[in-house]
Amino acid sequence: MDLASSLRCVSVHPPHPRTPYAPLIVNAAITGMVGTRERIPALPVTPEQIARDARTAYRLGASVIHLHARAADGRILRDGDGLAGKTTLLAVLPEQRKLGIGRALQELRMDLMRDAGATRVITTADRPETIAWYERHFGYRRVGEVEKIHEFGLPDVDHWTTLEAPLV
């Protein structure tokens, strides 16, 4: 059973009195934090299943896909498993750039991930100058590309560059 099939099982409730709803952000936590395939047969654990369900959730209106890293056997990766931190969306207003604000924020979030037990950090970017900044200041290296599925970032770049750096 996949996400689309399991959604057909949801009970029907009368509409909320405030329909249509005001705009909102839907966060789909498709891999869960404690679930197992034994308890939740529809739980995606392989990269293909996770990608499939993330696309389905997006098509159904999710704005954010929240994932917990899993090992090949489906168990949640925790401290001591080579935990990777993930950063996104660090931005500084153009008039505030070159003042060290972005660098200080990035150093803080890397310190917090290190303190939480992460051994490496992953991020994505589409701007060449941002990619070069991560590489130059924090030792990131390019490890792949991910197709953009949202109209976000540079309109003429069709992918995110995935970068990784050690947190040792």
For 56-91, what is each residue's pLDDT tens digit?
A: 888 888 877 777 766 666 666 654 456 777 887 778
pLDDT at 134 over 90: yes
Two structure tokens written together for 157: 């770049």
- Could you read off the pLDDT of 84-106 as tens digits, one per residue? 778 877 788 888 888 988 889 88
Q: How far is CA 35 from CA 18, 82, 155, in A?
A: 33, 21, 37
What pLDDT does residue 42 have?
80
Nearest to 60 by CA among 28, 22, 23: 28
Distance of alpha carbon 71 from the chain centroid? 17
The pLDDT confidence band at residue 137, using thresholds 50, 70 and 90, is very high
Task: Give me the domains of the chain, ranges plus CATH numbers.
Answer: 1-77 (no CATH), 78-168 (3.40.630.30)
What pLDDT does residue 74 have?
67
> Taking the complete model, does pTM exceed 0.85, yes or no?
no
CA–CA separation, 106 vs 101, rounded Å?
Answer: 9
| Helix extents (H) in 46-142 | 47-59, 101-115, 128-138
Residue whose pair of structure tokens reads 């899993």 in the numeric block: 70
The pLDDT confidence band at residue 48, using thresholds 50, 70 and 90, is confident
What pLDDT does residue 84 have?
77
Phi, psi (deg, nearest 5) at residue 145? -135, 150
User: Which residue did the predictor score with more confidence, 150 or 135?
Assistant: 135
CA–CA separation, 46 vs 40, rounded Å?
Answer: 14
Two structure tokens written together for 45: 């654990």
Inter-residue contact 23 to 31 (CB < 8 Å): no
Q: How many CA atoms lie within 13 A of 52 on its CB side?
A: 13
What pLDDT does residue 91 have?
80
